[in-house]
Amino acid sequence: MKLVTASQMQDLDRRTIQECGIPGIVLMENAGKGAAELLVQHFPEVRQGWVAILAGRGNNGGDGLVIARHLRNWGIKVKVYLLCSKENVHGDARTNLQVWLNMRGETIEVPSEGESVRVKEELAQANLIVDAIFGTGLNSEVGGHFKEVISFVNSLPQPVMAVDIPSGVEATGGKVLGVAIKANLTATFGLAKIGQTIHPGLNYVGKLEVVDIGIPSYLIDEAEIKTYLIDPAELDLGLLSPRPAQAHKGNYGHLLVLAGSPGKTGAAALVCQGAMRAGAGLVTLGIPASLNHILEVKLTEAMTEPLPDPINGYLCPDSMGRILQLLEGKTALALGPGVSTQPQVRELILGLISKAKIPLVVDADGITALASRPQLLKECTNPITITPHPGEMARLLGTTTKEVQDNRIEVARDFATSYSCVVVLKGNRTIISSPEGEVYINPSGNPGMASGGTGDVLTGMIGGLLAQGIPPLEAAKWGVYLHGLAGDIAATKLGEMPLIASDILDYLPYALKEIKTHGNKKDT
């Protein structure tokens, strides 16, 4: 699903009006009627009650007035609460206000804080509230009686439908500008906005529905949109097509995994199991020799290769020769989980990143090692995927975790384009960016997955997909989405609190089956 910034949406509206000659009031009519249809579809009970519409002075308020007109024509009782004086309404919104008044539509002006007492009493009696106060152009903090009304609406139990975007949510970055409407349903116009799909804005949107308002498709194609919400219906199912009857393990790649150290053997096991569950034909784990007996017990399907470990339990440069031999015939390499941050391990990791000629996924301690020399990524010709959590991303950039979290999309995109790699910035709504600057936001996953080992499973899954020859960006998108979907299915069965990494492994087959048959039904 394509996502736009506020300025991109404004530009599409402008081009539709100026270049195509479609009047703005036609777009407003399409938007309002589409939103009214969604309202009745999602809240059919309003036919037996009444709807309160909170309208601002701009185009968002105009959309609300169109909604009011259509609802009234369908026999539904409506009151419009105009949060300004009538004289302050201009343009297309003014036209729709006049039409509403001509129809003898009930309108209550609430231009200031002193006149909001009556409004509060009446809103508490409404069956549903429509938020048409502010639209996607809002860029300053909400104050005055707008803040008072929004806070009051949020205290009520009635369902709320937001028009285009919940008032108070910044459309591009998802920031809350002081206070914001907490909607049950948002009817957004033309295209979904980035700020509706990331935190904190995501928490205010409720169910997101996109209304087609008549913007020509060729204008959308020309808009150079580079941000997307992952939609399973748009993923290439051909990459995970049924296997032919004559298939054998050699057809599905061979992943080499370098992971584990004393106390971190579980990470190595989870990576290997994630790769196998993602369909890799063969998986070999390179493990310090003194730990090999542990992994021989923990792993059944994956092979192990004991590596020289004169420092007792840690990978070191002495293993380089043997690892390079192991890379022969392998189709991908997964590197870093649980290997430790010791200096000799860092030396080995940096050497392998520079010498490996096959697709590579780097995670955890591998990223920490890379933080000492990120320029190495620019010297590599093989495709590289990194999967940092926010703290690891901060180390790579020499900044703070807060700075990363406050600018997740920009951080992932800038690093991916600057260092020519695929970036998987983990967290709620994981961000995936390509070297070309395309960004994909993942809608699957839940807080129950915030436990040790889940990232190791993801590394293995991406590595397993890479080993099968799936292109790096697609491997990242598929891996992240399926990983989250498996976690969602596990949480449905087990609850979020007890969920552990191995549950994701157990439910991954169900996630694959779900996506092949029904797609993802989780709300955006």
pLDDT digits (tens, 9 = 90+) for 28-71: 999 999 999 999 999 999 999 999 999 999 999 999 999 999 99
Rounded alpha-carbon distances, angstroms, from residue 135 to 59, 132, 444: 7, 7, 27
Q: What is the pLDDT of residue 113?
A: 74
Report which of 456, 430, 452 is spatially closest to residue 441, judged by C-alpha positions.
430
Q: What is the pLDDT of residue 517?
A: 79
pTM: 0.95
240: confidence class by pLDDT, cuts 50, 70, 90: confident
Mean pLDDT of 186-203: 98
Lowest mean pLDDT: which of 83-92, 105-114, 419-428, 471-480? 105-114
Residue 216 reports pLDDT greater than 70:
yes
Report which of 110, 216, 209 is spatially closest to residue 165, judged by C-alpha positions.
209
Instruction: Mark residue 174 as left, alpha or beta (left: phi above 0; alpha: psi -120 to 50; beta: remaining).
Output: left
Lowest mean pLDDT: which of 38-42, 122-126, 310-314, 516-520? 516-520
pLDDT above 70: percentage of residues in the chain: 99
DSSP state string for 242-277? PPPTT--GGGG-EEEEE---TT-HHHHHHHHHHHHH
pLDDT above 90: percentage of residues in the chain: 93
Tell me which H or E stretch contains 40.
Answer: helix 24-42
Q: Give CA torsion, residues 467, 317, 415, 358, to 10 deg.
A: -20
518: confidence class by pLDDT, cuts 50, 70, 90: low
User: Per-residue pLDDT tens for 342-380?
Assistant: 999 999 999 999 999 999 999 999 999 999 999 999 999
Share the mean pLDDT of the chain.
96
Calculate helix-pair angle for 320-327, 343-355, nearest 10 degrees. Answer: 30
Q: What is the pLDDT of residue 356?
A: 96
Calculate helix-pair angle for 265-277, 454-467, nearest 10 degrees. Answer: 40
- Write down the CATH number for the domain with range 16-225: 3.40.50.10260
Domain spans of the chain? 16-225, 247-442+450-485
Q: What is the pLDDT of residue 519?
A: 56
Q: What is the pLDDT of residue 524?
A: 54
Q: What is the pLDDT of residue 116?
A: 74
Instruction: Mark residue 19 as left, alpha or beta (left: phi above 0; alpha: psi -120 to 50; beta: remaining).
Output: alpha
- Better-predicted residue by pLDDT, 516 or 231: 231
Amino acid at 343: P
Residue 166 reports pLDDT greater than 90:
yes
Report which of 128, 125, 126, 105 is spatially closest to residue 44, judged by C-alpha positions.
128
At the top level of CATH, which class does the domain 247-442+450-485 belong to?
Answer: alpha beta
Q: What is the pLDDT of residue 235?
A: 80
Residue 98 reports pLDDT greater than 70:
yes
Report which of 52, 30, 29 is spatially closest to residue 130, judged by C-alpha positions.
52
